[in-house]
Structure 1
Amino acid sequence: MRRRPAARSPLPRTRAGGALLAAAALVATALTAPPPAAARAADRTETAVASTSPVTDVVESVVRVRVPLPESAGPRPERCDWLSYLRYRHADGPAASKDADRVLIAQPGIFAGAGSFDGLARNTVHKAAANGDHIEFWALDRRSNCLEDPTGIQAGLAAGDVHLAVDYYYRQKEAGGRTFAGYQTNDQVKWLQNVGLAQTVRDQYDLLVKELPDQAVRKRKVMCGGHSLGGVLTAYFAMWDFDGNPATTGDAGYEQCAGYFALDTRIDTGLLGMEGFPAETVPLVEFGAGVVRLGLEAGIVPRALSAPAVVNTETMNLLAIAGLAARLAPEGLSDLATYVPSTFNTDTTYRLLFSKDYPTFVAGTPTVHDFRFTNAAALGGLLDDNSQPLAFMQASVGFWDGGKIVDKEFPAPNNLDELGFGGLATLLGTDKKAIPDTPGGPLYTWRNFDLVGAPDDPGHESKHGGPFTTPAKEVTDIAQLARSLSEHPLDFTEHYFPTKLITDIALADAPGIADGAVHTGGIDANPTLNLQAGDGLGARDPKPGDVIATGYQHLDVLTASAVQNNGRPEPISLDLAAFAGR
């Protein structure tokens, strides 16, 4: 894979192909500040979001701006002609974004939405205010998030009953005057075949121009960045020429930003700087851009990226349901695996995530139905780094409690290093996996991150030696993760991730895909802050000047608690606030 040249001048360049690895809140009254012009009102809405976050001096709102797709995109729901973001600002700060000291705009990672930034956004705005800076944090939703239906999550949150959400999505019961139309099929999302790299960076540019019309203000105040895939998108945004004339640079992406920030990623066209990782590992890429385009048009290639289990539209929504249950009744007995109707997808997902070893997986017994979990434990089992097998979906939220815990050696054994397969940590994460071992036995509970290592902690140990976890490895409050998964009008996850966005990045050298990325020096034109998870993806390729948060996993850079187990402030938001105020 060719790496971008180091030149800093805005000259044409050859784009490097990247390699990619593997609810809603209570809505309150509209903000009182009027739009700058009456004509703008019909094309922009801003609504306050009520939150139970412990960070109480940060104001959150959901902003929607009408930016229609070109007609060539094809038929789509009218709501998909709008772009949305969560706007976070300090309660004592200015009401107008143009008057803020800085505006941080963040692209989410793969399969992620605006809600995933909630913890980081609040902590950063709060810490900046303590430094005397009033900044804003804009957490972006990609256009494809418009296809999600948060009605059931909103209804369950408002009523304090997660069963209302399940009934809406699985039993055709009405909520909020609506009935769930079902998950969108490949034919229903045909327009996504036209939403790739060019449209995604164009959306960010158009949104910035609409919200901050003065280019000089954007250049002085906006910090551009993202998490995971968001670093790659920010790199292409920085290089893009948006008026089609490379000789005029006022419209260039790098001229919209005063600096860049990377959250367990790099501002680079190769994900996490992993040059040399074969692009052919991205599905379909080996057939070339023409074949991929024809496959998308014919519907042979799925227009939204998904797997048969674990990572797909239904399971992304299931995370919001699990988060809602853990938010409403963390110590209550979970019926997630029983009240949610059995489907091939859910059964296979539970089997993949909760099998102790290969014999258990093959035999199909015991199943998750044979264990008793609290709602918090069920959520921990889905996302904790000692349980979730995919590194890009892991957070450090504590550990199992309440009964016998053993090594979870499916889909991979816990002694990969000894077996010579340590490189799989890129996919599976670095921490040993664990699982309850007493079906039909005790109620398994969840020990929150700040109670690991407490006097009553049993200190479970792996049969391969050493404890499964330590206080230094736990950083995220599971209650706040549950809140972020279920409280926002823009979801934590992205249910319909456009396949074209992945294939475009991997095939960026092909004509017609990234032709706008002509400003070679755009990536290096502004200061960059790299904020990496110590046990995540970015810190495996450290660079001089990186901020490395010890013990963090890939999601922890977004979700970590404001105060850590060592009593010190959360480092990612602390350094980001200082960088924004510098």
Structure 2
Amino acid sequence: MTKRLPRRAVLGGMLGGLALASAAMGTGAGSAWAVGRVRGAVGPEPYVPVAVGSGGGPAGSDRVHVLKVGPDTAGTVLVLVPGMFGAAGDFRLLARDLVAAVPGLQVWALDRREENLADRSGFAAPDPVGYYLDGRYRTQDPAASPFAADWGLALALADLRVVVQAAGRGGRRVVLGGHSWGATTALAYAAWDFDGSPGYQGLAGLVVVDGGVRGAFDGTGDPVADSPQEVRERLAAIDAGAVFDRTLSGVGLGSRAESTQIWYQLAGHYALSDPEGRSVLQPRLPEALRLPYPVSNAGLLGFLVDASFGWPNAITVHSGHLAGSGDVRGWVDSGITPLGRVAAAYAGPVPAVWEWYWPARLSVDLDVADAYTDSALAGSLGLRLHHAQRLDIPLYAFGTSYAGGTITEAARTVVADSRIPYATYETDDGMNHLDPLFTAPAHNTLTRTLTEFLTRPTAR
């Protein structure tokens, strides 16, 4: 979902935004909740397991899952890979919109093998809040997870290879893409050497959304950490037991690898089931994040996801604002991404939007893959990026305000240093990093321009 949070004080920015929002709500429009219209399913949307190679994890973890949206008779399959802490549910709404706009398209959204480690059973129980926030769920203890130390890019791409080949059966055309670090993963797959066969040879095109390689993330102010010294230190930490990336703990919603993801899914759950009701979660917020007035379930989700409260660009959308002067303040949609669409996506639980246990080794490998070359450092990590200069398939690149233009700049560099026949570059600075995944179709520049790319004839 996100590459990583910026290295800055998350709480300081959030509380500043909260003060501005509070000052602007003197005469609110009541506890309004404009549920964003979520386009219905375009047919069955199976979520299917796919057997992959052994990774040394617990029973049941040697599989990935694919959410399939669109007809099985489609001649083109767009395989999408979520970003850091992202999951298949990221793409359900976008997939529906694309399938409705592109005849003969099916979208496959990938859930990595890490998703098998999460305990989402509590969302079907009578008391999800108690199950998760009182610690009754099954957690994946890093100390009991040494297998995850080896869950890096090589394993992720081997798993993705199984999915891509399944998508192409029967002569179907396969386009591979991703969001944020999922875009980096897609480009790495294209350049990867699979026992002498380059990844790009099985693809008809590439789609990179707010991510990539060759400095794509430089504009975020948080460039990759890929010097030999940084890599050595990060690998040493993994060897010492820090096998899961805990970046999201910086949000302030808990210290475990999965704490923030649980909070966001709970917020979506209650916003979807009882949007106008007084927030179930608000009394459980950490003291540093307490709101100075009661809000609805929808208002609490809006507080966590809307850019107006100062959360980092990497985890926010442009949705609306809190409103009302009564006992409980609700949510009003006034942006491009209706909160109802966010709630529908976040509520899950299958497939979910947030991945709980992101392997720290995958973070290291994706940072090193940014150079997009067969370097000595890449080789020492087993990264087989042998074919970047031979890419000969079309590329679509989309950037938001997240990286200040470096997403498309980096894509142009990839094209210039390869045999890519043509490329499409699109930018919408009115979007934050997560907006393209959930924005209403009428306002989604990604949906419109990617539709045009997908309907353009290609050589494969």
TM-score interval, normalised by the smaller of the two chains: 0.7 to 0.9
* Aligned position for 1:447: 332
Q: Is the alpha carbon distance of 1:542 and 1:307 closer, same or farther for their aligned partners in structure 2, counting shifts above 3 Å? A: closer
Partner of 2:32: none
Whether the 8 Å CA contact 1:88–1:137 is kept in 2: the answer is yes
Give the percent of matched residue pairs that are identical in Structure 1 and Structure 2: 25
Tell me if structure 1 keeps the 8 A contact 2:219–2:404: no
Contact residue 76 and residue 104 of structure 2 kept, 8 A:
yes
Per-residue CA distance 1:60-108 (angstroms, 9 max, x = gap)? 1101111132xxx43x22221011121100xxx4x3xxx4121001111
Counterpart residue number, 2:48: 63
Provide the residue aligned with 2:23 in structure 1: none
Does the alignment pair 1:88 with 2:69?
yes
Could you say which structure has the higher helix fraction? 2
Structure 1 ranges of 4+ moved more than 6 A? none
Report deviation, 1:241. Answer: 0.8
Please say if 1:297 is aligned against 2:271: no
- Structure 1, unpaired ranges of 5+: 1-18, 23-51, 157-162, 173-178, 246-250, 341-345, 355-366, 404-440, 453-473, 565-569
1:320 aligns with 2:277: no
1:148-168, Cα deviation, whole Å (9 max, x unpaired): 111112x15xxxxxx621232
Q: Distance in 2 between matches of 1:577 and 1:212?
A: 20
- 8 Å contact from structure 1 (residues 264, 539) kept in 2: no
Distance in 2 separating the partners of 1:275 and 1:396: 18
Quote the offset at 1:532 in angstroms: 2.3
Partner of 1:490: 351
- Indicate the SS of the match to 1:380: helix
* 1:261 match: secondary structure: strand
Q: Give the alignment of 1:153-302 within 5 angstroms.
A: 153=123, 155=124, 164-171=127-134, 180-181=137-138, 183-213=139-169, 217=171, 221-243=173-195, 245=196, 251-266=197-212, 268-272=213-217, 279-280=224-225, 287-299=229-241, 301-302=242-243
Query: 2: distance between equivalents of 1:306 and 1:490?
Result: 22
Report the Cα offset of residue 446 of structure 1. 0.9
Asked whether the equivalents of residues 332 and 375 of structure 1 are also in contact (C-alpha less than 8 Å), the reply is: yes
Name which one, 1 or 2, has greater alpha-carbon Rg: 1
Q: CA deviation at 1:117?
A: 1.1
- What is the Cα deviation at residue 302 of structure 1? 4.1
**Amino acid across the alignment from 2:156:** T
Aligned partners of 1:397 and 1:477 also within 8 Å: yes
Matches within 5 A, 1:13-32: 22=6
Contact 1:381 1:388 survives alignment (8 Å):
no
Between the aligned partners of 1:374 and 1:276, the Cα distance in structure 2 is 34
Segment of structure 1 superposing worse, 57-66 or 374-383 = 57-66
The aligned counterpart of 1:78 is: 59
Cα gap change, 1:308 to 1:486, in 2 (>3 Å): closer
* Matching residue within 96, 107, 112 for 1:122: 96
Are residues 538 and 495 of structure 1, via their aligned partners in 2, closer, same or farther at CA, if it must alter by over 3 Å?
A: farther
CA contact (8 A) 1:119 1:561 kept: no
Residues of 2 paired with 1:106 and 1:259: CA distance?
12
Taking a change above 3 Å as real, the CA distance of residues 322 and 278 of structure 1, as seen in their structure-2 partners, is closer
Counterpart Cα distance in 1 of 2:343 and 2:87: 15
Which 5+ residue runs of structure 2 have no aligned equivalent?
A: 7-36, 370-374, 413-423
In structure 1, the residue matched to 2:419 is none
Correspondence for 1:380 among 269, 286, 302: 302
Letter in 2 for 1:265: G
Corresponding position of 1:572? 446
TM-score for the superposition, normalised by structure 1: 0.64
Partner Cα separation in structure 1 for residue 233 and residue 62 of structure 2 = 28
Give, in whole Å, the separation in 2 of the partners of 1:525 and 1:374. Answer: 51
Superposed displacement of residue 169, structure 1: 2.2
TM-score by length of 2: 0.79
**Which AA in structure 2 matches 1:310?**
V
Query: Which AA in structure 1 matches 2:49?
Result: R
Q: CA contact under 8 A between 2:216 and 2:408: conserved in structure 1? A: no
| Counterpart contact for 1:504–1:513, Cα < 8 Å | yes
Number of the residue aligned with 1:106? 80
Distance 1:260 1:200, change over 3 A: same
Q: Aligned equivalents of 2:194 and 2:185: distance in 1?
A: 15
Offset at residue 395 of structure 1 (A):
0.7
CA apart distance, 1:289: 3.9
Contact 2:399 2:407 in 1 (8 A): no
SS of 1:332's partner is: coil
RMSD of Structure 2 on Structure 1 (CA) = 2.7
What is the total number of aligned residue pairs between the two structures? 400
1:252-289 deviation per Cα after TM superposition (whole angstroms, max 9, x unaligned): 111121011111223x2433465997544x7xx66354
